Amino acid sequence: MTDTPWLVVGLGNPGPKYAGNRHNVGQMVLDLLAERTGARFSRHARAQAVVAETRLGVLPGGRPGPRVVLAKPTTYMNTSGGPVAGLAKYYGVDPAQVVVVHDEVDIPFDTIKLKSGGGEGGHNGLRDITKALGTKDYVRVRVGVGRPPGRMDTADHVLKDFSATERKDLPILVDDAADAVEMVLVDGLLAAQGKFHTKV
């Protein structure tokens, strides 16, 4: 078994102005994963990102889970591809071992869906990553933020903070997404889909 790390990327926009936005839920998940393992983010020397190297999950027999590089690009969402491709090259990570955690308007709030490959659904961060990696075949942990109400533009919706009602359940959503990431790494994508796609 190779000890090449997984690269787990949380998408968002940089700076405190955007920190609570729906668009930044991927970075919220990465913060929780780092917190769970006591890892600390630091600026990467070669890529526009902050990274934390750790292990996630527990393997059979109680052994520590696989090596992982947690990464949050410090670029804006629409230019996430450069940092992701740069980190994948630096750590020798194949695209199949890249996991991108991101907001998803096409699924309801409080829902997690997972997939490998497929379209980007109008998500400019994913589109840029696909272009930079040269493939769609990376894992996506899709964190539901729901569609905008009424005639609100999708961009305005994702660049707003979660509502007061949503914020009550947001810690559970972020926790579930972090669990999903760990399950992908330890048990595989199909097992994670089996659990989270049928979650009530």
* Known catalytic residue at 102: no
The two counts, helices (H) then strands (E), for the chain are: 6, 7
User: Which among 23, 44, 123, 157 is annotated as catalytic?
Assistant: 23
Residue 71, beta-bridge partner list: 9, 51
For residue 198, the Cα-to-chain-centroid distance in whole angstroms is 20
DSSP 4: P
Rounded to 10°, the helix 81-91/124-133 angle is 40
CA torsion 164→121→107→105, rounded to 10°? 10
Residue (of 28, 13, 6, 23) closest to 183 by Cα position: 6
* Residues noted as catalytic: 23
